[in-house]
Structure 1
Amino acid sequence: MDLGLSGKVVLITGGSKGIGKATVLRYAEEGARVVFTFANDSSASSSVVKEIEERGGIVEAVQMDLTQSSSIQEAVSSVGRKYGPISVLVNNAVAGARHPVRIAESDPEEWLQMIDHNLKSAYLITKTVLPFMKGGQWGRIVHVSSEIAEDGMAGASSYMTAKAGLHGFSRALAVELSSEGIYSNVVLPGLTLTERNLRDFPAEMLQKFSSSMPTRRLGTPEDVASLITFLGTAANSFVNGEMIRVTGGK
């Protein structure tokens, strides 16, 4: 199936590892011009660029502070000048502490930083990219959330709040912009076998999770990337304003 991505400019935040990396690779395979952001790990981002360029794809990695409007404006303007209008935006980047902290013991400043890193950042970059999409009367925005934004998890209130905020933000975008050919959707992965999860979770724990799944396996970054890629294409002609779980039926 031709997904209509050849030559289109795709901007993906947090594309060096995990779901972001798999998504960068999928869009590049479809012939898109892919620009992805990274925060600090220039080695990982360079590795992704090398892999795609060896396959003949067009890709660039851009360091960006997603909490700073000036950093976003500068990078997005540079992408527009170099490659042309941005047609697809994937808000994938995630930041913040991973250790669980219950609300009663939480630090207000750290709690709010999670909102800045994972919700405010999505607002800032979406607002910056929108003029390109509105000018072309076409665009696709995909936000990467998490199943725990719906299911809940003790000690993750700030992360859950930030990710759940994406759901309302995406619905607002869908309602406001669909008449201009711009769609917005949210993908909610379950526990996924990213490099980070493979490092942080003991193998026996991952096996236990796998055996409890209807599919008898956990999802891979490629599983999630396939949906993200479809939602960001012309083949997606009517899926808009949705929150879609990628959990293997859990």
Structure 2
Amino acid sequence: MDLGFAGAVVVVNGGTKGMGRAAAETVAAEGAKVALLARGEQGLNDTAARLTELGAPDVLPIPTDLNSRTDIQAAFAAVGDRWGVVNTLVNAVGPVDVGIGPLDTIDDTNWHATFDIGTLSAVKCVQAALPLLRKAEWARIVNVSAHSVRRQSPTLIAYTAAKAALTSVSKNLSQTLAPEGILVNTVSPGSFLSQGLRDFLSRLPDDRRPDLDDLYAVMDAIDAEFGHPAFIRRAALPAEIGPVIAFAGSRANTYMTGADLNVDGGSDF
């Protein structure tokens, strides 16, 4: 299926790891020009090289602290100087090593850090991107939320709150921007073996730590730790959600806005 990305400009924050990278690789293979916003220079360079191999005609890796409004504004200024417009903004960065734990273990610093990266980074990117999105022939925003906003876990209270706020912001933006033809959707992954989840599981005690190469064992561990089982009794790899994010952010998506696409391996939610 031609998603209409040939020659389009796509910006992915958090595009060097996990689901953000999977989305970037998908649109690169479709012929998009891609800007990557992330902190690690090595990851940016490695990902940029891979996107070029996949067929992206132009890749712009931009070292960016996604907690910094100054950095974000500078990044989108660079995108504007390079290409003049943005067709698709994907906000894929999320809290890592913050926001996980029961209420009495999360202090104010942790709460603020979770919302800063889990919600406000996307808000700041949308604000900076809007002038370029408005100049494009077609424009889409995709925010990566989380399936956990639908079913709670005592150890995910801050993380889930930040992602729920992002889902709410996205719904509001879908209404606000619809008259301008800018479609806004969220994609909510379930049990995907992202780097953050890998790191969390690898720190579990020996008797609870799964074999990370066994996606069925990983799913069992996720169910035990968070109470989030799936009808498909395995965890997923980030590459499995890249095409979903890409479609939501594509020219081929002509009428879906305000949706929250649940990609969780099957559930009652």
TM-score (norm 2): 0.86
Opposite residue 207 of structure 1, the aligned amino acid is: Y
* Residue pairs, 1:31-110, within 5 angstroms: 31-39=31-39, 41-57=40-56, 58-98=58-98, 100-110=100-110
Q: Distance in 2 between the 1:51 and 1:22 partners? A: 11
Q: Flag the 1:126–1:153 CA change in 2: closer, same or farther, 3 A.
A: same
For residues 105 and 18 of structure 2, the distance between their equivalents in structure 1, rounded to whole angstroms, comes to 30
Give the conservation status (yes or no) of the 8 Å contact 2:26–2:243. Answer: yes
Q: Judge which range, 92-101 or 178-187, deviates more.
A: 92-101
Residue 209 of structure 1 and its aligned partner are, at CA, apart by 5.2
Residue equivalent to 2:245 = 228
1:238 matched to 2:245? The reply is no
Correspondence 1:6-45 to 2 at 5 A: 6-39=6-39, 41-45=40-44
What is the rounded CA distance, in whole Å, between the counterparts of 1:191 and 1:102 in structure 2? 19
- 2:160 is the counterpart of 1:160: yes
Distance 2:64 2:249 in 1: 22
Offset of residue 65 of structure 1: 1.5
Residue 113 of structure 1: CA displacement? Answer: 1.9
C-alpha distance in 2 between matches for 1:204 and 1:139: 41
Contact 1:137–1:181 under 8 Å retained in 2: no
What residue is the counterpart of 2:210 in the other structure?
Answer: 203
Q: Which secondary structure state, in structure 2, belongs to the residue aligned with residue 151 of structure 1?
A: coil
> Residue 199 and residue 162 in structure 1: after superposition, are their counterparts in 2 closer, same or farther (change >3 A)?
closer
Alignment partners' CA distance in 1, 2:54 and 2:240: 21
CA 1:248–1:11 in 2, change beyond 3 Å: closer, same or farther?
A: same
Distance (Å, rounded) in 2 between the aligned partners of 1:44 and 1:70: 21
Secondary structure of the corresponding residue to residue 101 of structure 2:
coil
Q: What is the distance in 1 between the residues matched to 2:145 and 2:230?
A: 20
Distance 1:175 1:99 in 2: 29
Percent of aligned positions that are identical: 30
| Alpha carbons 1:14, 1:37 under 8 Å: kept | yes
CA 208–48 in structure 1, closer or farther in 2 if over 3 Å, else same? same
